[in-house]
Structure 1
Amino acid sequence: MNNDRNKQIKYFLFAISLLLGTTGVLHAQQQTAEALLGRLHGSLRYSIGRYDGTTLLSEQTFQHGRLQTGGGDWQLQTHATMLPDGAADVQVVCRLAQGRAAQSAVTVSLDFSHWSPQHYVLVPASVYNGNRYRSIGNGYNPDYPRDMYYNPHVPLTIANNPRLSDEKGKPSVITLQTTNAATPAICFFSPEEKKGCIVLTTQQTSLGNSGLTIAENSAKDSCVLSISAPAVRRLAPGFGDFHPSGDHAPDWQAGDEVTLHYRVYVFDAEDIPALLRRFMTVRKALSGPNQPRDILPMSKLLQCATDICRGNFIEVKTGAYYRPENNNDFQLGWVSGMINTYPMLALNDAKERERVARELDFITGKLQGESGYFYGGITADGKLRPEKMHPDFPELQAMVRKNGDVLFWLMKHLMLLKAQGYGRMIRPEWELAAKRLATAFAATWQKHGEFGQYIAPRTGEIAVYNSTAGAIVPAGMMLASRYFHVRAWTRVAQQASAFYYLRDVEKQGLTGGDCGDISHDANSESAFGLLESLVSMYEYSGERHWLQKAATQAALCATWALSYDPVFPSGSAIDKLKSHMAGAVWASIQNKHAAPGVCTSSGDALFRLFRATGDPLYADLLRDIQHAHAEAVNMPGHITTNNLMGSSMERIQPGDAEGKESIGNFINTRNSWTETAGMLMALEIPGIYVNTDKKEVYVFDHVTARVVSTEKDVMVIAVTNPTAYDASVSLLSENNREAAVPLPRTAFVKWPHVVVNAGQTVTVRVTPEGAVVR
Structure 2
Amino acid sequence: MYKMKYFLLFLAIIATSKKSFSQLSNPEMNRILKQVSGSVAFLQRHYDGVSLVTENVFHSGELPGNWQLALKATPVKECSDAVDMEASFRLTAGEASASTVAVKFDFSNWSAANYVLVPASLYNGNRYRSIGYGYSPQYPHDMYYNPLVPLTISNNPRLSIAPDKASLVELQTGNMATPAVCFFSPSEQTGFILLTEQQTKWGNNGVTITENAQKDHFTFDISAPAIRKLATGFGDFHPSGDKAPDWKAGDEVSMRFRVYVFKATDIPSLLTKFMKVRKDLSGAPALRNLLPMSKLLELGTDICSSNFAQQPTGSYYKPENSNDFQLGWVSGMINTYPMLSLNNEKERRRVAEELNFVVHKLQGKSGYFFGAITSTGEIKGEKMSPDFPEIQAMVRKNGDVLFWLVKHLMLFRESGHAAMINKDWEAAAQKLAAAFVKTWEKNGQFGQYIAPQTGEIAVFNSTAGNIAPAGLALAASYFKKADWLKTAAAAADYYYRRDVAGQGLTGGNCGDISQDADSESAFGFLESLMALYNYTGDKKWLSMAEVEASLCATWTLSYAPVFPPSSTIGKLQSNMTGAVWASIQNKHAAPGICTSSGDYLFKLFRATGKPMYADLIRDIQHAHTEAVNMPGHITTNFLVGSSMERIQPSDAEGKESVGNFIYTRNSWTETNGVLMALELPGIYVLSDQSTCYVFDHVEAKIIKKDTKGLVLELHNPTAYDANVSVMAETSADAKRPLGYTAFLHWPKVPVKAGETISVRVTGKGVAW
TM above 0.5, one fold? yes
Following superposition, the deviation at residue 531 of structure 1 comes to 0.2
Question: What amino acid maps onto 1:65 in structure 2?
Answer: G
Contact 2:24 2:58 in 1 (8 A): no
Following superposition, the deviation at residue 221 of structure 1 comes to 0.3
Aligned position for 2:273: 278
1:518 aligned to 2:519?
Answer: no
1:58 aligned to 2:51?
Answer: no
Encode CA deviations 1:44-73: one digit per residue, 9 max, x unaligned. 1001111111111121111111111xxx12
Aligned position for 1:711: 706
Aligned position for 1:80: 73
What SS does the corresponding residue of 1:260 show, helix, strand or coil?
A: strand
Distance 1:601 1:705 in 2: 26
Task: Give the 5 Å matches for 1:387-402.
Answer: 387-402=382-397
Distance 1:243 1:130 in 2: 21
Aligned position for 1:97: 92
In the alignment, which of 35, 41, 51 is matched to residue 39 of structure 1?
Answer: 35
Following superposition, the deviation at residue 712 of structure 1 comes to 3.3
What SS does the corresponding residue of 2:93 show, helix, strand or coil?
A: strand
Following superposition, the deviation at residue 236 of structure 1 comes to 0.5
What SS does the corresponding residue of 1:470 show, helix, strand or coil?
A: coil
Task: Give the 5 Å matches for 1:42-191.
Answer: 42-68=38-64, 72-83=65-76, 84-85=78-79, 86-191=81-186
Unmatched segments (≥5 aa) in structure 2: 1-22
Task: Give the 5 Å matches for 1:343-354.
Answer: 343-354=338-349
Q: Percent identity?
A: 62
Aligned position for 2:693: 698
Following superposition, the deviation at residue 252 of structure 1 comes to 1.6
1:439 aligned to 2:434?
Answer: yes
Encode CA deviations 1:491-540: one digit per residue, 9 max, x unaligned. 00000000000000001000000100000000000000000001111111
Task: Give the 5 Å matches for 1:312-331.
Answer: 312-331=307-326
Distance 1:498 1:378 in 2: 34
What SS does the corresponding residue of 2:45 show, helix, strand or coil?
A: strand
Distance 1:168 1:475 in 2: 39
Distance 2:695 2:492 in 1: 29
Following superposition, the deviation at residue 80 of structure 1 comes to 1.1
Contact 1:494 1:537 in 2 (8 A): yes
Range moving further from structure 2, 285-294 or 549-558: 285-294
Task: Give the 5 Å matches for 1:409-448.
Answer: 409-448=404-443
Distance 2:248 2:56 in 1: 18
In the alignment, which of 631, 634, 650 is matched to residue 645 of structure 2?
Answer: 650
Question: What amino acid maps onto 1:79 in structure 2?
Answer: K
1:606 aligned to 2:581?
Answer: no
Distance 1:39 1:166 in 2: 26
Contact 2:183 2:191 in 1 (8 A): yes
Distance 1:735 1:152 in 2: 49
Aligned position for 2:624: 629
Following superposition, the deviation at residue 254 of structure 1 comes to 2.3
Q: When the two structures are aligned, how many residues end up with a matched partner?
A: 744
Aligned position for 1:659: 654
Question: What amino acid maps onto 1:463 in structure 2?
Answer: A
In the alignment, which of 185, 193, 202 is matched to residue 198 of structure 1?
Answer: 193
In the alignment, which of 540, 546, 549 is matched to residue 541 of structure 2?
Answer: 546
Distance 1:210 1:495 in 2: 44
Following superposition, the deviation at residue 459 of structure 1 comes to 0.2
In the alignment, which of 288, 292, 297 is matched to residue 293 of structure 1?
Answer: 288
Distance 2:221 2:542 in 1: 36
In the alignment, which of 490, 496, 499 is matched to residue 495 of structure 1?
Answer: 490
Task: Give the 5 Å matches for 1:567-578.
Answer: 567-578=562-573
Distance 2:420 2:540 in 1: 39
Following superposition, the deviation at residue 282 of structure 1 comes to 0.6
Instruction: With the length of structure 2 as denominator, give the TM-score of the two structures.
Output: 0.96
Encode CA deviations 1:373-399: one digit per residue, 9 max, x unaligned. 000010000000110000011100000
CA RMSD of aligned residues (A): 0.9
Aligned position for 1:254: 249
Following superposition, the deviation at residue 27 of structure 1 comes to 5.4
What SS does the corresponding residue of 2:214 show, helix, strand or coil?
A: coil
Distance 1:252 1:427 in 2: 72
Aligned position for 1:535: 530
Question: What amino acid maps onto 1:294 in structure 2?
Answer: N
Distance 1:635 1:505 in 2: 39
Encode CA deviations 1:395-434: one digit per residue, 9 max, x unaligned. 0000000000000000000000000000010000000000
Contact 1:692 1:713 in 2 (8 A): no
Distance 1:27 1:394 in 2: 63
Distance 1:325 1:647 in 2: 11
Aligned position for 1:380: 375
Encode CA deviations 1:283-310: one digit per residue, 9 max, x unaligned. 0000011211000001100111101000
In the alignment, which of 741, 744, 759 is matched to residue 736 of structure 2?
Answer: 741
Encode CA deviations 1:300-340: one digit per residue, 9 max, x unaligned. 00111101000000001100000012110000000011000
1:723 aligned to 2:712?
Answer: no
Distance 1:345 1:236 in 2: 45
Following superposition, the deviation at residue 605 of structure 1 comes to 0.6
Contact 1:528 1:603 in 2 (8 A): yes
What SS does the corresponding residue of 1:87 show, helix, strand or coil?
A: strand
In the alignment, which of 481, 484, 488 is matched to residue 479 of structure 2?
Answer: 484
1:766 aligned to 2:761?
Answer: yes
Aligned position for 2:217: 222
1:459 aligned to 2:417?
Answer: no
Distance 1:333 1:539 in 2: 23
Following superposition, the deviation at residue 251 of structure 1 comes to 1.4
Contact 2:24 2:41 in 1 (8 A): no
Distance 2:405 2:713 in 1: 39
What SS does the corresponding residue of 1:693 show, helix, strand or coil?
A: helix
Following superposition, the deviation at residue 214 of structure 1 comes to 1.2
Encode CA deviations 1:245-275: one digit per residue, 9 max, x unaligned. 1111111222221111111010000000000
Following superposition, the deviation at residue 97 of structure 1 comes to 2.1
Contact 1:117 1:220 in 2 (8 A): yes
Distance 1:283 1:500 in 2: 25
Following superposition, the deviation at residue 769 of structure 1 comes to 0.7
